[in-house]
Structure 1
């Protein structure tokens, strides 16, 4: 087995394990104290949202210019200067941060200010880690960085929560453990990078001044920054705004619902690994008819599997919440499940729209639409939070609207440029069957046992969907329920 294959297999295993760890913790452990979990889910997304400002795309440049600098033995110079750039950016960012609150003291009521002594160090640590993370991919090593990037934050959340709630450690002590895990991951990055190739700091600027290489690096980093900040803001701003405008308890409830709904996205985790090389090849060779066929096929696969999982979640959620501590709070927020779930389902139905754009010569357009998504999400969130009394249901509506518009723009762009379209009539059949199955399951009598209800209603949904599919031959399930497919989702 090649290095890439081994790394891909291990990477996927860690990804699935991290997903399960995070989801199981969110369902069965974090609900014991929604408020403290809401605080944890405010801190990290807020730090991640501000992270791109400090990194400024320099992590991407360590990949883009690696081979060019390696030929001249200057890749360590590029790495050192990237770290220096991050440190300078962080100092400037921190000065502007404190200057803002000094000039506008009325904003000191924000949680961002109150938690600054935790959020600011976390931004610096994560920024330095981001540079290491990208740099290590040059050595075709993605497994250990994936442990630091995905597992350590989940352990930080879980450990801090358990220390606070189950062991009675103070909030400050629990936050200390939380931050300590990120420091430990940064130290791990350093030792692992040093093991692959001894790190030799070189802060000389002579090389990048030659032929104005620094301009190329800054230009590329700037595009990376624009795309990254749009992505981070769009998908992290919910937790930040709930924490600021509502309360941490609501943030905890919202985060737990997101964790439950993340089951819908499981099929996506493996399929992109399979699809990326095919998308890249068809675009490079100009085989757009083949790309359209493949796009429709993968989109139907994602939609069908996502619809099955979502249908089971919808009919089982009221009974699952009875097994969750403080589940009544989740039951009150059930509309969030429906609103966000349908938005995620449409996202799956559009397939790999974004990846098609990213792998084409129009990759810069992704930056534009990502910034559009970020601005739209922030604007709608603010509108629903300040002009309505919907609470987290309003946040869900804002996210669903902006995500749907985002996908519709990409559908239109890909149709104009490549004549590819992801939606098919088969999806409508799947939607009708799932709607029928959900309706019947909800109408069926409720027993006195929550466990029986939790098992038999989703089981009925599965029987109806797969039974109808077997008769109508909408989706070729036999192509996916075999050993070859399950092996392929663990490969790049």
Structure 2
């Protein structure tokens, strides 16, 4: 786990810095510089592109991780890369040719109040294609065991670009209408940078011949399309469906709550970058003991780290909403359900990587499609039929994550006889629940403190409460020896 911790630590720092910048964008800049309706429009464009991206990428980014380490010679590796690199381009060209039909399909799903999106659907296409090829070249770098730079571009670059563009709007250098077009250019530039870096790490000799196992590669690619993107797709379906019933400002409010709830998954995203190729390598070498070892360790470590942020976020979310415009308040229940769904997913460890890289990868198509269909049906029921609002969307998401998460744990156990949970999992769950219940229902009585006509009382409250929670949490998990890796890391630090 040494290489995992080394790169995961760097990736975690990058991701949390990205989340910090994203939090500033979400809580302060978007809500004040772009306003609710255009923020909702940006959310809709990005969510729609995220829904299209997996089908554009065609699962090639997972295919590279799966097969690259199985080839022994450079010629075999080069033939493999040559055979898969152009497939997303073919899909993108076909999609571009028929984009008028996709445009009309998108417009059929938005309400009359949101027809403004009609002028922006082309950016859905450009962002989807650029993100697809970014993921392809990011995987190209990850199989060289170099995930940090790509993670920097994925997690930090976008949010920094948004910050710059929001200030450009504020200073009237660009208009609100131009914001999305400049944002799409930033995505395209990011893909070009990632491509140059990947080719610098490994420059293949391009062949016009196919690898011997090309049939197996294509079967895997078609089955794996939704793998790894299912959880993101579910949240994007939520935002996509809001525009069919309510105005874009509702999508903005929901996006903020989802962002806050999703904050806890940063360690998972960091560790996954290096766990995917390591898991693939261990499976290709038939090293089942190492796969199981990675499974159990990643599960408890992610639950431990994610649990801390789950408590911090949900115990402070009411104070956090106080420093935002009034329209964004009232999303506490959404944050709780989204963060709980994310925490459960983190507790599964590298379950997804095991399934994706094993001989049972075909199930990913059915689980990914099943999650998408289930959340669509539940959203229709809770949001459209019962009018439960965004809490209904969050509950539908929560149920989908839990149901299919349990299924995937059962599936790996049934097929590979590997189970991620231990008695430490139970101990860790009890710690999280007890600390959440202990700190959620009270706050410090700070009083009203203002700085430059801005109330900083909620910020002071968050800092004081978070400090106590963090120290107590670290002390408990260290004394109870929940994770050997975390204890060793803390011992070296201390």
Contact between 1:62 and 1:78, CA under 8 Å: does it hold in 2?
A: no
1:298 Cα offset (Å): 3.8
1:405 is aligned to 403
Report Cα offsets for 1:289-313 as digits up to 9, x if no partner: x866764454333223322222222
User: Given the alignment, which residue of 158, 177, 193 partners 1:172?
Assistant: 177
Structure 2: give runs of 5+ residues left out of the alignment.
Answer: 449-456
2:463 is aligned to 455
1:117 Cα offset (Å): 3.0
Pairs within 5 Å for 1:389-400:
389-400=387-398
1:388 Cα offset (Å): 2.1
Report which stretch shifted further, 429-438 or 67-76: 67-76
Contact between 1:230 and 1:367, CA under 8 Å: does it hold in 2?
A: no
Report which stretch shifted further, 150-159 or 272-281: 272-281
Matched, 1:350 2:348: yes
- CA 1:242/1:414 → structure 2, altered by over 3 Å: closer, same or farther? same
Contact between 2:103 and 2:121, CA under 8 Å: does it hold in 1?
A: no
1:170 Cα offset (Å): 1.8
1:339 is aligned to 337
Contact between 1:160 and 1:175, CA under 8 Å: does it hold in 2?
A: no
- SS of the equivalent of 1:346 reads helix
* CA root-mean-square deviation: 4.3
- SS of the equivalent of 1:245 reads coil
User: Given the alignment, which residue of 184, 188, 194 partners 2:193?
Assistant: 188
Structure in which a larger fraction of residues adopt helix: 1
Task: Report the TM-score, using the length of structure 1 for normalisation.
Answer: 0.78
Matched, 1:478 2:487: yes
1:49 Cα offset (Å): 1.0
- CA 1:362/1:217 → structure 2, altered by over 3 Å: closer, same or farther? closer
1:282 Cα offset (Å): 8.3
User: Given the alignment, which residue of 417, 420, 435 partners 1:419?
Assistant: 417
- CA 1:311/1:186 → structure 2, altered by over 3 Å: closer, same or farther? closer
- CA 1:50/1:28 → structure 2, altered by over 3 Å: closer, same or farther? same
User: In structure 2, how many angstroms separate the alpha carbons of the residues matched to 1:217 and 1:24?
Assistant: 42
User: Given the alignment, which residue of 86, 94, 104 partners 2:91?
Assistant: 86
Structure 1: give runs of 5+ residues left out of the alignment.
Answer: 486-492
Report Cα offsets for 1:127-164 as digits up to 9, x if no partner: 45445444566766655544544444323433333333
2:41 is aligned to 39
- CA 1:30/1:291 → structure 2, altered by over 3 Å: closer, same or farther? same
User: In structure 2, how many angstroms separate the alpha carbons of the residues matched to 1:105 and 1:467?
Assistant: 51
1:381 Cα offset (Å): 1.8
User: In structure 2, how many angstroms separate the alpha carbons of the residues matched to 1:54 and 1:282?
Assistant: 27
- SS of the equivalent of 1:244 reads coil
Report Cα offsets for 1:214-239 as digits up to 9, x if no partner: 75654343224353664653343222
Task: Report the TM-score, using the length of structure 2 for normalisation.
Answer: 0.78
- SS of the equivalent of 2:227 reads helix
2:377 is aligned to 379
Contact between 1:37 and 1:161, CA under 8 Å: does it hold in 2?
A: no
- CA 1:419/1:186 → structure 2, altered by over 3 Å: closer, same or farther? closer
User: In structure 1, how many angstroms separate the alpha carbons of the residues matched to 2:128 and 2:239?
Assistant: 16
User: In structure 1, how many angstroms separate the alpha carbons of the residues matched to 2:292 and 2:200?
Assistant: 45
User: In structure 2, how many angstroms separate the alpha carbons of the residues matched to 1:133 and 1:151?
Assistant: 14
2:263 is aligned to 263
2:306 is aligned to 306
User: In structure 1, how many angstroms separate the alpha carbons of the residues matched to 2:292 and 2:82?
Assistant: 44
Q: How many residues align?
A: 474
Contact between 1:156 and 1:179, CA under 8 Å: does it hold in 2?
A: no
- CA 1:318/1:34 → structure 2, altered by over 3 Å: closer, same or farther? same
Matched, 1:153 2:158: yes
1:286 Cα offset (Å): 6.4
Report which stretch shifted further, 129-138 or 65-74: 65-74
1:408 Cα offset (Å): 0.7
1:47 Cα offset (Å): 0.9
User: In structure 2, how many angstroms separate the alpha carbons of the residues matched to 1:437 and 1:237?
Assistant: 33
Larger Rg: 1
User: In structure 2, how many angstroms separate the alpha carbons of the residues matched to 1:474 and 1:80?
Assistant: 43
1:242 Cα offset (Å): 2.5
Pairs within 5 Å for 1:36-435:
36-58=38-60, 64=67, 70=75, 78=83, 81-82=86-87, 85-94=90-99, 96-97=101-102, 113-135=118-140, 142=147, 144-167=149-172, 169-189=174-194, 207-208=209-210, 218-227=218-227, 230=230, 233-272=233-272, 277=278, 281=282, 295-322=295-322, 324-326=323-325, 328-435=326-433
